[in-house]
Amino acid sequence: MTTQNTAILLAAFGATTALGSSAIHTFEDEVRRAFPQVTVRWAYTSPLALRRLASRNIEVDSVAKALTRLHLDNFTQVAVQSLNIIPGKEYETLQKQCMNIARETGLRLSLGAPLLATEADVERAADVLLQHLPLERQPDDLVLCMGHGTAHSAAASYSALADALQKRDPRVFIGTLDGERCIEFMLPKLHATGSKTVWLLPLLSVIGKHAQHDMAGEEPGSWRYILEQEGFTCHPVLRGTAEYSGFAHMWLEHLAKAMAAL
C-alpha cells in the first residue's frame, strides 16, 4: 500500500471544551507518530457539537464532508478510525455514512473498530483501566467509571467490562449516564462495600459536558452531588480515555488493522 493517496480520518463524537480539544490533539499526535507518512484529518459525528462549534466560528467537518474533501483532494483510500467506546448506534451510523460515501465517490474505505469491539478488547481494556487508576487511590477506595450508556444491545459491552473489572478488583465499578447501569442502580453496590471514598473517572473518549457536569459537577443531579448526598467523598478525575496511552494504543491497533485492509 502506498501512502501518497492514503489518508486517515479520525471520527470522534466531538470536543467543544478546552480539555476535550487537548485530548483530541494528544491522540492525533499518537496517530501521526504511528503513521508518519499518512495524512491525518478529523471529523465529528455529533451534529450538536458541530453546531456549537460553528456558533463560535470554529469549523470542523462532519464525516460525510471530511470524506468528500479527501476525495476532492485526490485521495483514493481512507482508513476511518472510530473513537467510540462501544459498537452502538453511533458506530452503526458511522458505518452507514462510510458505505454511502464510498458508493458516491468511489473512495476505498476501511473502518477501524471502537474500543470495546470484541471479548478480547474487553479483557484488555480491564487491564488497561486498572493500570491507569490514580496513584493516590488507597486500597479500600472505590472507583466508579462513567460510560455514556445506550438502549442499544451494545450496552452489553459495559456489563462485560464491569464483570472483567470485578474479577480483578471488586472495588472498581462501571456505571452509565443512560441505560440500566445508571447511578441509582450503582448506589447499593457502592454502599455494600462499606467504603466512603469514591474516585470518579469518565469512560468517555474526551472530556466534555458529561464528564464536567453530569459526573463531576456540584449541581443537583450530578453523580458527584448524588454520591455526596449519600455520604461518599468524591474525587473526580477529568481525563478522557483517549488521553491514556493504554487505551490510545488499543485504538491504534484497530487503526492498523483498518490500514492493512486497504
> Which is the catalytic residue, given 71, 148, 210, 254?
148
What is the 3-state secondary structure of the chain?
CCCCCEEEEEEECCCCCHHHHHHHHHHHHHHHHHCCCCEEEEEECCHHHHHHHHHCCCCCCCHHHHHHHHHHCCCCEEEEEECCCCCCHHHHHHHHHHHHHHHHHCCEEEEECCCCCCHHHHHHHHHHHHHCCCCCCCCCCEEEEEECCCCCHHHHHHHHHHHHHHHHCCCEEEEECCCCCCHHHHHHHHHHCCCCEEEEEECCCCCCHHHHHHHCCCCCCCHHHHHHHCCCEEEECCCCHHHCHHHHHHHHHHHHHHHHCC
Instruction: Give catalytic status of residue 148 as yes or no.
Output: yes
Selection from 85, 169, 92 nearest residue 133 by Cα: 169
Residues noted as catalytic = 148
